[in-house]
Structure 1
């Protein structure tokens, strides 16, 4: 008689990972030595019984119990430093980190909504009650890469809470997965710290890497030497930032700021006069933009 057959005599609710997981939270999950996943209703278990079962069965979290085989392989590769699994490796992949403001959002519903964005099911790993990782796998040459623009707004309206995405670069090397994930998580932290928006890529945080590496004493010297005369002119600083983010295109920036082109040009000239930085030239534009990102105004 197998272990599971013996357990069935003690726990009538036992199931072999066949619930469809509509009510998987009602169960406590275990893994047998043969990698079978079994669930027993929590109301049939007390602490003593759980401890006894844990001697010869491996306890699992509810998320682990519902993982697909591919998600288990990714989890092992990323978190357990195990060898690269034989799982039919994708041609390329990238990490899409997501964070949900509302901790009470149901994970199953959120996962289903996120999966619906993709043409095929992608591995999804939860890292906390509100954070997780989607591994976007590219398996064929004609497979479309997911475009996330506007997706955060759609999902936020569906769940009545804000959702933020941070997207890594694509890579084809499985041996780099753990390293790239750590870099991506670091980038997501920078995006959150600087409140960069709901959909941010690895490219968007590169300027902030330089900013965050600048010692405070050095920044104070820059502020005193160059921006002392305009530090408190918030309107001017905002205008110059929009001008630079518009590719130094006066007409485009004026449109974004709802002002006349000549008024914008006046402010640009005023900034150049006050700071000595010619933001119409590349060098002056780079220096100024990095400084503006550092400022809080």
Structure 2
């Protein structure tokens, strides 16, 4: 466990995403099972200990290239508390996070592919070898469908799993770095607790965030009402969750779930018969969706 190493190496820290480092030199190791990175100050660890940790964990690449001035400004602004980049203050931008899972990819080719999807010039800042951040400016934004197709294109063209977090439109100001850190946390939560999808947004992730913060008595009360029905019929659970995630649109949900619309309606009606809860109004749908998220999370944990 990385947490045990913190006591051994003063100055070490753990992150849920590849770290972006300042001037001090670190050795970075990746725990693939927990999807965490630990950064250990170079001066705190011996060569023998490096070899030992390298045999247990994945030794992560430390980016050493000299960044162009504009990218260096953005790195210092977002990660190191510097002033906003010159000429950007007050401008509305969108930060889009990419995670690439797999070793067989060329960073330059991926960056060219990312830029090729956008109608205007964007900045791409790499966070380690498998994560990138796109700074999108201008009024011509790609919509969610376009960005979702990016994930599919990277998977088919580069044979790597790709996940994308589409940030909100934000104003470049002193507040933006903390807003970006929140979006990083939402992305980390999505990768852990939400079924694998090509892309995530604030609206898609926030209900799971709310579910993760529910006090135990509330989550247990919700599980007591619905968990038994979900356990009794996995297909029914998947259908109800998919139905709610698609705006309670039966035709769209059936298409996404690859089932007939009548099959979907049968399973939704079956859920109502088992629980006594209809999904026809907003309050019921919201409550049941929270229950779905809790059940899904607990099932993954178990």
Using the size of structure 1 for normalisation, the TM-score is: 0.69
The residue number in structure 2 matching 1:29 is: none
Tell me if the contact between 1:227 and 1:275 (Cα under 8 Å) persists in the aligned partners: no
| Structure 1 equivalent of residue 64 of structure 2 | 62
Sort the Cα spacing of 1:249 and 1:148 in 2 relative to 1 into closer, same or farther, 3 A: closer
Q: Which residue of 2 aligns with 1:269?
A: 269
Whole-angstrom CA distance in 1 between matches of 2:119 and 2:270: 52
Aligned positions of 1:13-162 closer than 5 A: 62-63=64-65, 65=66, 67-89=67-89, 91-138=91-138, 143-146=139-142, 147-162=146-161
Cα distance in 1 for partners of 2:99, 2:226 equals 38
Look up the SS of the partner of 1:79 in the other structure. Answer: helix
Name the SS for the 2:169 alignment partner: coil
> Is this contact kept in 1: 2:148–2:198, CA < 8 A?
no
TM-score, normalised via structure 2 length? 0.68
Unmatched tracts of structure 2, length 5 or more: 1-61
Largest Rg, 1 or 2: 1
Deviations for 1:135-188, whole angstroms, at most 9, x for unmatched residues? 1122xxxx4212413111112222121121111101123222211210111111
| Counterpart contact for 1:250–1:265, Cα < 8 Å | yes
Q: 1 CA distance for matches of 2:104 and 2:121?
A: 24
Residue correspondences, number: 231
Counterpart-to-counterpart distance in 1, 2:105 and 2:82:
32
Q: CA deviation at 1:110?
A: 2.0
Runs (5+) with no aligned partner, structure 1: 1-59
Q: 1:47 maps to which residue?
A: none
Deviation of 1:247 (Å): 3.3
In 2, Cα distance between equivalents of 1:78 and 1:253:
38
Q: Per-residue displacement from partner, 1:182-235 (whole Å, max 9, x unpaired)? A: 011111101211234112112210111111112345323322244434532112
Q: What is the aligned partner in structure 2 of residue 37 from structure 1?
A: none
Instruction: Tell me the residue number matched to 1:259.
Output: 260
- Does the residue aligned with 2:148 lie in a helix, a strand or coil? coil
